[in-house]
Every structure is written in structure tokens, then in C-alpha cells.
Amino acid sequence: MREFLRVTVPVFAIGAIAFWWASRRVSAEVKRARWIKFISYVVIVHAVLGAAIVGRAAIGGLIIAIAAAGVVEILRAARSLRRDLSLLIPAAFVTVAAAAIVFGFAAPPLLVAYLYLVVAAFDGFSQAGGQLAGRRRLAPTVSPGKTVEGFLIGIAGAIVCALLLRGAASVSAGAAVGFGAMCSCAGVAGDLAASWVKRRAGIKDYGTLLPGHGGVLDRFDSFLAAAAVMCVLGVAGVVPFTLR
């Protein structure tokens, strides 16, 4: 677990300095919103790591809680969709969530935490990369803020994170590179799917449960998608859950 903290602690420390620097000239309201989002994200990340330390039951239970909250949010959003989509989308989400839960209980807890951190790295790097270097939109009709450049930077960040943390999850260097790429592709697919549903339903966020982030799906859509893909790959025998 210390291997994870050796990365998360300095990354969040640098992030705090960056937030402070970037917020020097913004209004007090914007500054407060940024810090709420940052602090809640620190808590969320380390809550996942804490569950992994406790063991398989804790991390699996956490994924069940995330999935259950996600079902509620999807059903709420589905009320604003046309009839066929209001049935299809919840069914599709339940399938993805069930696969993520299976992964949570079948895989070693530290591998689940590893997956989450790599997905989080992709999310963070793709967002920052898009803001700094984004030019070409990745999916303009679904999520106008996402760019091709941000996606590529996100993949690079996820792979670097996967390599830095591979010792904690007993993953080889080659597997770490593939793991980072897989998490990136699955994560962006889950994010875009969630954004598509929000756009169809005419909502900005899935909820308000997580301060600064919105609903549970606004924070965990990428993770659930990546966990579901890992479950499918593991069950199919493409990769063992230990990725050795």
C-alpha cells in the first residue's frame, strides 16, 4: 500500500500547489468550488485505497455501493428519455455494473485499487491535457470538452501511472503498458456513454452526492467501465486477474 501512497501523496501535494496558484485571481466563489472539488477527490481516492487495504469484502462492497447509487441515478435520468431508451439504458448499466462487481470480488484488492488509480490518472491527465493543448474535439456532439490531444495525453499519463505503481499490484512492465492503454480506452468509452445519456436526458450532472463532482456516476463512470472490461477479459481467459 505504501507504493500507492508514494505516488498519491506527492501528486496531490503538487495538485494543491497548482490549485492555489491557479486560484490566486479568481473570485472567492470559484476558489471555494475548486477547493471543495479537490479535497473531496483526495478523500474519494484514499477511501478506495482504504477499502483495498481492508480486503476483498470491503472493496467489493464499495463497488456494490457505487453500482447501487449509479442505478438510482440512471433510473432518475431515464425518466427524461424516450420509452425504448428508458428501458435499454438502465439494463445496459446494470450489466456493466454487475461485471464491475464481479471484478471487485474476483480480483486481488490491490489490483482493483491499481485499476482505479490508473483510470483516475487518465481522467486527470486527459482533462489537464485538453485544457492546455486541446485543439480537435474527440466527440463534439456528445462531450464538446473532450479533445483528441487530451485523450492522447491521458493515455500517456495512465501508462506512466501504471508503470510507477506496477510493483504494488505485481504487474510486469509490459502488462502495465497494456493495462494503462486498456483503462484509457474503456474509461473514455464509459465517460462518453454517461455523457451521451446526460445530454439525451437534458441534465448537467447525475446528482449532488459528491461535493464538487456531482453524482456518483459523474465520478465513477470510467472506473465502472474499465472494471467491467477487466472482468470480461478475465472470464474469457485473455488475461488472468493477477496480470502476471
* Residue 120 falls inside a structural domain: yes
Residues 6+ positions from 90 with CB-CB distance below 8 Å: 71, 74, 75, 78
DSSP string, 191-242: HHHHHHHHHHHT-S-S-SSBTTTBSHHHHHHHHHHHHHHHHHHHHTTSS-TT
**132 has pLDDT over 80:** no
* Residue 240 falls inside a structural domain: no
Q: Which residue has the cell 505504501?
A: 2
The fraction of the chain above a pLDDT of 70, given in percent, is: 97
* Residue 208 falls inside a structural domain: yes
Q: Which three cell numbers stand for residue 33?
A: 468550488
**49 has pLDDT over 80:** yes
How long a stretch of residues is the chain?
Answer: 244
Taking residues 165-181, report their average pLDDT: 90
Q: Mean pLDDT score of the chain, rounded to an integer?
A: 89
Supply the pLDDT for residue 32: 87
Domain that holds residue 225: 2-235
Supply the pLDDT for residue 242: 58
Residue 240 pLDDT class (50, 70, 90 cuts)? low
Residues 6+ positions from 227 with CB-CB distance below 8 Å: 63, 99, 100, 103, 104, 112, 115
* Residue 241 falls inside a structural domain: no
Taking residues 25-54, report their average pLDDT: 88
* Residue 42 falls inside a structural domain: yes
* Residue 47 falls inside a structural domain: yes
Supply the pLDDT for residue 243: 54
Q: Which three cell numbers stand for residue 166?
A: 506496477
* Residue 230 falls inside a structural domain: yes
pTM surpassing 0.85? yes
**56 has pLDDT over 90:** yes
Taking residues 217-228, report their average pLDDT: 95
CA 182 – CA 159 distance, rounded (Å): 10
* Residue 242 falls inside a structural domain: no
CB 190 within 8 A of CB 178: no
Is the pLDDT higher at 44 or at 135?
44
- The total of structural domains in the chain comes to 1
Q: Which three cell numbers stand for residue 230?
A: 477487466
Query: Residues 175-220: pLDDT tens digits?
Result: 999 999 999 999 999 999 999 999 999 999 999 898 888 899 999 9
Type of residue at 9: V
